[in-house]
Amino acid sequence: MKWICLVLGILTLLVTASAQKPKKAPDIEVLEAKAHRGEDKISLDGRVKISGEKPLKGLILAFDFLSSSSDVLTTQKQEISDETLDRGEEAPFHSELLNPPGAIKFRIRAFDGSERELRSANAGPFTIE
């Protein structure tokens, strides 16, 4: 009986340890993001920092515009850089995008030049002013 309890205890520890994989560090971190609504456009300004281990070949930001219930109304993408960005580099962005009706906030997703989605930190949601 002691052996069964010991084996079950060890198995429980092994399963728990394998389920708690460490999270990978983000590839980019949003340092600053602001949005101002105009008549038919939204101006988005901010900065992102490359925080991943590997350099990024190109950077595309996707802006998810959200309703008051946090539903995605539309997503608009813009290429920020087509050059290789190294760890620690900052990339500013300024975008003039169409103003989606009903959008009150936005969040940011990032992709590399080959359209692979990147892990992002501090990506929102941010309020549209």
CATH code of the domain occupying 25-127: 2.70.50.60
Torsion of CA 111, 116, 120, 124, to 10 degrees: 60
Amino acid code (one letter) for 5: C
Strands 105-112 and 126-127: antiparallel
Q: Where are the domains of the chain?
A: 25-127
User: Looking at 9-18, 41-50, 92-101, 103-112, which range is the least confident one?
Assistant: 9-18
User: Which residues fall within 8 angstroms of residue 124, CB to CB, at 6 or more apart?
Assistant: 30, 33, 105, 106, 107, 108
The 10s digit of each residue's pLDDT in 46-84 is 988 888 778 778 888 889 888 888 888 888 888 887 777
User: Which residues fall within 8 angstroms of residue 15, CB to CB, at 6 or more apart?
Assistant: none
DSSP 38-75: -SSEEEEEEEEEE-SSSPEEEEEEEEEEE-TT--EEEE
